[in-house]
Amino acid sequence: MVKGDSEWYIIPDMNHILRRSEGTNTILGAMKEFKSLMQQPIHQELFNRLEDWLRRYQYDA
């Protein structure tokens, strides 16, 4: 659905709330883990990928 360039990545050990996560869980286990992980920082590799992308596609407005 994106017109133009697009990219996608799978970041190992990153869960759906963008935090580092180890192992696998059941649905109920994941909900408990998500609540505890909300206090953790967003996965650093996500920031690295975003920074790389922004540097490549920046323009003077």
pLDDT of residue 60: 54
CA dihedral 28, 29, 34, 40 (to 10 degrees): 170
pLDDT of residue 41: 94
pLDDT of residue 61: 52
- Long-range contact pairs involving 22-27 (C-beta distance under 8 Å, separation at least 24): none
Which residue ranges make up each domain of the chain? Answer: 13-55
Show pLDDT as tens, one digit a residue, over the chain (61 residues): 668 777 889 999 998 899 998 777 677 777 788 888 888 999 999 999 999 988 988 865 5
pLDDT of residue 47: 95
Question: What distance in Å separates the CA atoms of residue 37 and residue 4, rounded to the nearest whole number?
Answer: 35
| Residue 20: DSSP 8-state | B
